Amino acid sequence: MGTLHNLGAINLLGMDTELYQDHILDWLGSSPDNLNGLFSSHRWLQEGVEPWKLKLWARESIEPAMGRAPIVVLVFVGLWYINLVLLDHNKVNFAGVLGIKTPASAFTMYCGVIMAILYTVTMLLFVQMAGSTIELAITFFYGMLVIFIMTLAQPGFAGLAPAEAHLVENRNTFFRLCRNVIWPGQTIAFAEIVFADALTSMSKVFKDAAITIIAVYSNVSQTPITDLHEEGMLLVAVLASVPFLIRVRQCWVQFEGQHDPLLKVPIFLNVVKYMSAFPPIWLAAAATLGYYNRNMPLYIMLTTAVNSTYSFVWDIVMDWGFISFSKTGKCGTRQRFFYPLVTYLFVGVSNLVLRFAWAANKLAFFSGMDAASLVLCLELVEVFRRSVWNMYRIEWEIISVEARGRNVSKEDLGADSSPSEGDLSPAIRSGSSASLRV
């Protein structure tokens, strides 16, 4: 291993520069033109370290990153609203498993519309009309968003929409859910799992948020952004890891609360699944900090592929129950479906494809797309995949809860029982109450 400053060693490594560059483009979202020759030892020797940092932190690289995060979050909120509408349309009784006492679609739309208005007005007012920097505009947007959240928390919030009294209950449920996700108790609710899993699908959004923080700090402190390179890359990696740390923490709470050694096995496997997301993040971070060896591109590819494959298998077996296994090793498929059968095949195949969307920059079809646009597409594709995942994960949890409520064995039910996070099948699953504690 060597550092960026060890220029003499760089010329001896003979790395696959194109493959390595693609991973950094996906990780940070920088322009291919700016990063042309990023890992070329000859260019580094000729230009030194500072030009490389200037290219990595060029305006055309960081400005799209600052604008992406709110857009992706807004799309996710909109997709969650569509989830709720479709669940209602298909008469799926999801309120019980999610712990929702009153209709939540209105609250979701209310929050989404307010966020969209704030973002649109801010970008138009500050950037388009006033010609201000995006750092100032995005800072104002997040400030207004904080004020909006504080307004939601006030007792007088109901006065803003007196005809929608259930918004207060939705607000309380949402804040309680956020608190439990960040500071879990001794048990983990299904709604907390769904929320935290949604955060993992926005890992790149957390990276964009980190870039925003560094860019705004650089603008306010008048510090050259290249001087903040090391701090910025570490912050990007740390924030990108946070959603997976939350899920690991949740799984650990379940692991400690489970006394049956057999039932600890799937929980442990779930911990491993989320921890498999760390190597790609930190290997890419090491690359941007200048730490590498000749096999680094291969390591990044392999660890990312392992995580994607592991996650896909988990979706099919554990989260959606398309395949389940009994204690005796018998394999079966579920016998109960809420949606048209053809959709299950479609979502299974599309989930596999979208799990490997990170490799899109290797396809000729995307070769003409600039990196910033490609990263935005990847982030939007991932939240869309999560939206579809939500529909079938909630369906499977409902089937599971109903099966446990009837105290039906796996044999009586066929494969029609759900493993939640940490259980291989209903036959070996511990009971959970209707309050969703698993």
Tens-place pLDDT, residues 108-140: 998 999 999 999 999 988 887 777 888 999 999
From CA 177, how far away is CA 78, in angstroms rounded?
A: 19
For 292, the 3-state DSSP assignment is strand
Q: Residue 382 CA to chain centroid, in angstroms?
A: 8
Q: Compute the distance between CA of residue 305 and CA of residue 281 in angstroms, rounded to an integer.
A: 13
pLDDT score recorded for residue 411: 43
pLDDT above 90 covers a percentage of the chain that reads 53
Residue with tokens 């799992």: 193
pLDDT, mean of residues 241-266: 95
* Residue whose C-alpha is closest to residue 125's, from 111, 138, 113, 110: 138
- Does the pTM exceed 0.95? no
Kindly give the interhelix angle for 296-314 and 17-28, rounded to the nearest 10 degrees. Answer: 50
Q: What is the pLDDT of residue 31?
A: 45
CA nearest neighbour of 110 among 141, 142, 84, 139? 84
Instruction: Give yes or no for a contact between 388 and 347, defined as CB atoms under 8 angstroms apart.
Output: yes
Q: What is the pLDDT of residue 3?
A: 37
Task: Using alpha carbons, list the distances in angstroms from residue 110 to 91, 106, 114, 144, 322.
Answer: 23, 6, 6, 15, 35
Domains of the chain: which residue ranges? 7-428
Is the Cα torsion angle 218, 375, 307, 3 positive or negative in sign? negative
Q: Where does 134-186 have alpha helices with state H?
A: 134-153, 166-182
Query: Do residues 188 and 437 lie in contact, with contact meaning Cβ atoms separated by under 8 Å?
Result: yes
Cα–Cα distance between 29 and 39 in angstroms, integer?
16
Q: Report the candidate in 243, 234, 240, 182 with the shortest Cα–Cα distance to residue 206.
A: 240
The pLDDT value recorded for residue 295 is 87
* Rounded-to-integer distance, Cα 210 and Cα 216, Å: 10
In terms of Cβ atoms closer than 10 Å to its own Cβ (0-12, 13-18, 19+), residue 240 is: buried
- Average pLDDT estimate for 293-311: 92
CA-based nearest residue to 23, from 279, 234, 284, 376: 284
- End-to-end Cα distance, the chain: 44
Select, from the ranges 1-5, 37-41, 158-162, 235-239, the one with the highest average predicted confidence (pLDDT).
Answer: 235-239
